[in-house]
Amino acid sequence: MFFKRSKVDKSKAAETAAEPASSPSEIAEVAQAPAAPPHAPTEHVEPSLPRGAHMTSSGATDPASLGFKTTADLEPAHGPVGQDKAMEALAFGAGIRGPGYHMLVIGREGTGRRTAARAKLQEVAEKAERPADWIYVSSFDPTGGFRALKLPAGTAKPFAEKVALAIDQLADALPAAFAADDYDLKRRTIEEEFRFSREDALEALRREAEGQNIALIRTPAGIAVAPVLEGKVVKTDVFNSVPEALRREVETKIAALEAEIEAILAERPDAEKERRARLVALNEQVAGRHVRAALDDIKAEFAEVAGVESYLKAAARDLVRNASLFVSVAGTQTSNVARGAGSHPRFARYAVHVMATTSAAAGAPIVQEPNPTYANLFGRVELGAGAEAPSHVVRIKPGALHRANGGYLLVDGNALLESPETVEALRRALDAEEIRFDPPVSPIGAVGDEVPDLEPIPLNVRLVAFGSAETQRRLAASNGSLRRIFKVEAVFEHAVERTKETVETFARIIAGVIDKQGLRPMDAAGVALLIDEAAHRAGAKGKLSLLISDLIDVCREADHWANSEKRDVVSAADVERALHQSKARGGRPGLAEAS
Amino acid sequence: MIAHVAAAGERRGRVVLWLGGSAEASRFAIEAAMLLGQAFQAEVESLYVEDKQLFDLADFPFARVIGSTGEGWRPLPQATLEREMRFAAAALHRQVAEAGVVASVPCHARVVRDEPLRAVSRACAENGPWNVVIVGEPLKPGDEARLAELFERVRDTTGAVIAGPLARRTRGSVVAVVEEFERLGPMLKSAQRLATVTGGDVKLTLVGNRRDELAWMEGEARLLCADGDDGELAGFDSVLAANDDPAPLAAVLQRHKPGFALAQYGGRLIAPGASLRPLTAALECPLLLVR
């Protein structure tokens, strides 16, 4: 180990180097041995190191042979060392057209496979066309479902904002329009016309009855018919004193008038229907004008986009039909009615849910989902309910599949396998090439089977799963169908042959880490120590470990020590100290991904 | 009339709110009663008249009643009629009392069983001439005969207030439609008093047959306003009315959207016996008809 080796004096190191190399099993044993305390005696037996490129006779890396003073002299490298086959597979998988070429990236943690895969995908993605945006909008039908609309790349958010603004404008304009004198007078005129038509009929009947000495009298409960004489209701004793034939005649007339009154009042349902139809027409006329004004600009701007016009038409119809919602909401709020009134639960149906959108500069999206649960992959629907509105969709949150649509979705294979339902749903989605919302558990707020019907969205994504050989086996065992869709496998080795070229690339990778992390340059001796550590960790003769993630922590900590001593260059002593501290904490530096 | 009260500098009068013609009572009529009460420091008498003739009718075995929603005929025995009358009167009186509390106007309630106009006439006669009758039931286009009979039979009143079926306001300006010069002063003063409680100004509409007559009336009106201290006059309208067509005056009421209006009964706006349809189609506020 570096720390121990650093305590060995040069002459002893030379002796050790002269000894025959240890067997691989010995090396492995040493690699797993617990770290000695910093003050351990130097006579401890050092493992033999394999000889190879840039090595001194003692088996250590010769800093002088590396050909640079500090890493500042090197061209930083970010790619992996000696992973040609894996990189070739990634390039193939990223670039090939056609569905089904999903990728399984296999290798140990820390080999830089994620960084390498991402970098390779990025190269291809940058050149790819930006995928279209997708939104969900209400279908405005009795099912309460949602239509998926495809919009040109980058326009989903502006579209959603414009619709929200239109709803806010209507929340202002409609209450004002319906409170206007003009509207009120028209409405009341219709109401009164309806009432007058009945009154007129009753008035005509009243006059007709008057000629027959019969009166229509209003009572607190309605209308009654009475025999009259000189404008007064006849008293019963007077009535009874007239001949029976005359009484019967009057009673017959009264019965006939009652029938006519009943007929007039019975017309009410038809008249009522007509009255309602005229009021609806008036409301539509008033609301329609404002709704058209609010939506016309959006309609014009998105005229070329399939489906938008029909959506806006349906929305306009619904807005006109439900204009009273705006009026009643305005009536229940204070003066600042309009601000954000569109976000009132009653207007939830007009919300545009952006499922996928890309920024202006982006090509194809690359989305990494560290926790590939169903909700995180397929999205989530949140339902709300309350006194203000019946059960309604508050939000449709996109999943990683929506965000990655048209690009690449990176998931951790082991995490994915935690949920067989999700694995199966993902396989179905990739097979059918569509995102269908069919969650294994009800959405938030759903009661019973109130899962809204979301139109499936066409899916065109390249799945990239990361795992180990064990993941590969588990995948085959748990879901053979999914295993088969991974037509591309990129296997990252954890160690490569120690050659002149790999050692030099390794040094450039260290320069890359330093460059990326913004650290001080490291001198050649420090780099040599790191190369030795990599050789040691490879656990086999003539190999170099590729666990790049370890490098980052060591470089950072070494930089810290150089900084504490106000030096501009990280030295071998700093590296040594970093390794020592790390081991004193209980082992190797953390295996964080080099991504 | 109350205008006379105002002109004579009288401080008090009485408002008789006539209820009971049917179950329907316009809330604008009730509000008008309160405004008059406030403007003239008058008390409101809520008079529910049980039409005696209905009880005569209820004596007949064939007496039946049908609801306005046409749900079918049902017998109308005395007991049922009495109960319905009692409940209707109680409900309306409570409504008036509540409005009185809000407006700080003293209200009294009374139920009488009589022939309706005779009951109103008696109620007015009991307290001297300074009464205004408010017709609680919304005015219908065919009510011209009823209105004429009210003015003919109820003598101890200075006028009557009606609210049309399209009533919707009791706040804002007061429009006084003046057709005769001798009424100008009292009507203007009444309008100015009313304007203090309706929260608006006074808009004077002068109606004449000739332009010179109108100009002269306007000049006189301006002089009257300059002399008085009862309030500001916001505007004049001069309507040249060569015939009895009420439409131009109805249009004035529509245009100004007043909270209260004053006009002369028997003038062009409401000629005795003429159809009330043009007025009911335009009237959106209570209208005080002066004799």
Q: What is the pLDDT of residues A214-230, one digit of tens each?
A: 988 888 888 899 998 88
Residues of A in contact with B68 (CB under 8 A): 222-223, 265
Pick B64's closest partner by Cβ from A199, A224, A235. Answer: A224
CA distance B67 to chain A (A): 4
Pick A199's closest partner by Cβ from B62, B142, B281. Answer: B142
pLDDT bin (cut points 50, 70, 90) of residue A13 is very low
Question: Which of B134, B69, B92, B93 is CA-nearest to residue A221?
Answer: B69
Say if B72 is an interface residue toward chain A (CB within 8 Å). yes
Kindly give, in sequence order, each residue whose CB lies less than 8 Å from that of residue B67, ignoring residues fewer than 6 positions away.
A221, A222
Cβ under 8 Å to A: B residues 161-180: 165-166, 168
Kindly give, in sequence order, each residue whose CB lies less than 8 Å from that of residue B201, ignoring residues fewer than 6 positions away.
B173, B174, B195, B231, B232, B233, B234, B235
For chain A, what is the mean pLDDT? 79
pLDDT bin (cut points 50, 70, 90) of residue A381 is confident
Q: Which of helix, strand or coil describes residue A578?
A: helix
pLDDT at site B257: 87
**In this model, does residue A339 exceed pLDDT 50?**
no
Spell out where A296-384 has E strands. Answer: 353-356, 366-369, 380-384
- Cβ–Cβ below 8 Å for B69 and A219: no
CA distance B70 to chain A (A): 5
Q: In this structure, is the dihedral angle defined by the CA atoms of residues A457, A463, A466 and A469, taken in order, positive or negative?
A: positive
**Closest chain A residue by Cα to residue B257:** A181
pLDDT at site A25: 34
- The mean pLDDT of A479-487, rounded to a whole number, is 77
Cα(A102)–Cα(A114) distance, integer angstroms: 15
**Closest chain A residue by Cα to residue B277:** A196
- Cβ–Cβ below 8 Å for A184 and B168: yes
Query: A422: how many CB neighbours lie within 10 A of its CB?
Result: 22
Which helix (H) or strand (E) segment is A223 a member of? Answer: strand A222-229
The values of phi and psi at residue A18, to 5°, are -75, -20
Say if A234 is an interface residue toward chain B (CB within 8 Å). yes
**In this model, does residue A472 exceed pLDDT 50?**
yes
**Encoded amino acid at A56, one letter:** T
Cα(B75)–Cα(B59) distance, integer angstroms: 11
- Cβ–Cβ below 8 Å for A226 and B60: yes
Q: In this structure, is the dihedral angle defined by the CA atoms of residues A338, A343, A348 and A351, taken in order, positive or negative?
A: positive
- The mean pLDDT of A492-505, rounded to a whole number, is 84
- Cβ–Cβ below 8 Å for B23 and A221: yes
- Cβ–Cβ below 8 Å for B84 and A222: no
Q: What is the dihedral of CA A92, A418, A587, A571, to 10 degrees?
A: 30
Structure tokens at A306: 């399939």
**A54 neighbors A43 (Cβ within 8 angstroms):** no
Rg (CA), chain A: 41
Cα(B136)–Cα(B28) distance, integer angstroms: 9
**In this model, does residue A561 exceed pLDDT 60?**
yes
pLDDT bin (cut points 50, 70, 90) of residue A359 is confident
- Cβ–Cβ below 8 Å for B22 and A220: yes
Residues of B in contact with A234 (CB under 8 A): 56
Residues of B in contact with A200 (CB under 8 A): 141-142
Cα(A531)–Cα(A498) distance, integer angstroms: 10
> How many pairs of residues across A and B have Cβ atoms under 8 Å apart?
101
Say if B8 is an interface residue toward chain A (CB within 8 Å). no
pLDDT bin (cut points 50, 70, 90) of residue A442 is low
Terminal CA-CA length for chain B: 7
Residues of B in contact with A255 (CB under 8 A): 62
Say if A199 is an interface residue toward chain B (CB within 8 Å). yes
Pick A266's closest partner by Cβ from B22, B59, B70. Answer: B70
| Tens-level pLDDT at each residue, chain B (291 residues) | 455 544 444 545 789 999 886 667 889 999 999 999 999 889 999 999 999 989 999 999 889 998 877 778 889 889 989 998 999 899 999 999 999 999 999 999 999 999 999 999 999 988 767 789 999 988 887 788 889 999 999 988 889 999 988 888 999 999 999 988 888 888 988 998 999 999 988 999 998 888 888 888 888 888 877 766 555 566 777 777 767 788 888 888 888 889 999 999 988 888 877 888 888 888 989 999 998
CA separation (Å) from A468 to A110, A432, A484, B128? 11, 27, 16, 108
Q: Per residue in A176-187, pLDDT tens?
A: 888 887 787 788
Residue in B66, B82, B86, B93 to test binding to A, most A beta-carbons within 10 Å = B66
- Cβ–Cβ below 8 Å for B53 and A217: yes
Pick B60's closest partner by Cβ from A232, A236, A265. Answer: A236
Pick A232's closest partner by Cβ from B21, B53, B87. Answer: B53
**pTM (2 d.p.):** 0.61
CA distance A181 to chain B (A): 9
DSSP assigned state of B265: B
CA distance A170 to chain B (A): 25
Q: In this structure, is the dihedral angle defined by the CA atoms of residues B105, B106, B112 and B116, taken in order, positive or negative?
A: negative
Say if B56 is an interface residue toward chain A (CB within 8 Å). yes
Q: Can you list the alpha helix ranges (DSSP code H) found in A433-523?
A: 469-478, 480-485, 500-517
Say if B283 is an interface residue toward chain A (CB within 8 Å). no
**A559 neighbors A519 (Cβ within 8 angstroms):** yes
**In this model, does residue A336 exceed pLDDT 70?**
no
- The mean pLDDT of A13-33, rounded to a whole number, is 34
The values of phi and psi at residue A281, to 5°, are -60, -40
The values of phi and psi at residue A541, to 5°, are -60, 140
pLDDT at site B228: 60
Q: Which of A29-33, A345-349, A418-422 has the highest mean pLDDT?
A: A418-422
**A479 neighbors A420 (Cβ within 8 angstroms):** yes
Q: Per residue in A146-159, pLDDT tens?
A: 999 999 998 999 99
Pick B140's closest partner by Cβ from A188, A199, A226. Answer: A199
**Closest chain A residue by Cα to residue B166:** A188
Say if A127 is an interface residue toward chain B (CB within 8 Å). no
Say if A230 is an interface residue toward chain B (CB within 8 Å). no
